[in-house]
Structure 1
Amino acid sequence: MRCLPDCRFLVEAEARWRARRSRELAEAWLAWQREQPDLPWPYIHALAKILADFLHRTFATDAEVERALRDLDQALSPIILVSAAPSPLGRALSSTLVRLAQEGKVSREELRSAARALADWLSSWRILEDERRFVRALLGTYPPLSEEPGLILRP
């Protein structure tokens, strides 16, 4: 039986699913952080937050997120390769972050290292049974920002 997207049962089930995946992600990242403390962790966490913001607005699978991270790695590379066009998520991510790197607001090499490390880790954390495991974990870890009320007050 199909449920409407705003069905409260579907919304509650998705919230529980995201919370569980979020706990799994937190445990996995702690283990990863202990194994590789020399990675640019502030950049990895910032990249995860930015990805979550994008994923709240668009649907994507873990494979698409991994591809977007690889596209970002390529966009930040000093060597320009002629290859396949980047994915839509990769293009959106790159257009935002490459500009910050060009303006000197973030370190290009640290960001590139974070994107490469996160893509490599994601490829090992993905599972076939749930093609959105990482996406759900990010959405559970970083809930959407609540909209600020407008300045117009209505009686």
Structure 2
Amino acid sequence: MPTSDELPSGQRRNFVEELHHYYRAAGRPVLRDLEQPLKKSAVSRETARRLLRGETLSRWTSVQAVFEALCAISKIDPDATRWGGEWNNDDDRSSRQYLRDLWNEAVDEPPRTARVHRLDDPWATSTSRQAQGGYGIPSDEPPF
């Protein structure tokens, strides 16, 4: 699970925490062990890694494939009610639907704004692309 510095609180973190619930239930398999269950869906182990790290939200079909692979390893029925028994009886969503709802909320979450480092002197040149907003300052020099 990524640290709170790597993945701050919010909808994306909620989604990744839920996905990690199934990852832990599956015994924390190495990504190589997920290759075979993911083969039919054409989801790469790199995509699975990036989902588990919170680096991507991918498409629902990819998320679902990783989720189903983890459920198969852990022998969890993905369509069973997530909160069975006396736990939160008013929520009868399945584990799959609960994860999909979290995924939708994460996708709909507005992107975090990156900190922009402003230059003290707008006419000064800087080698920092981040300080320049990633585009660079136009130059009077010819391009050759």
Q: Structure 2 length normalisation: TM-score?
A: 0.29
> Normalized per residue, which structure has more helix?
1
Which of 1 and 2 has higher RCO (CA within 8 Å, sep 6+)? 1
Q: Structure 1 length normalisation: TM-score?
A: 0.27
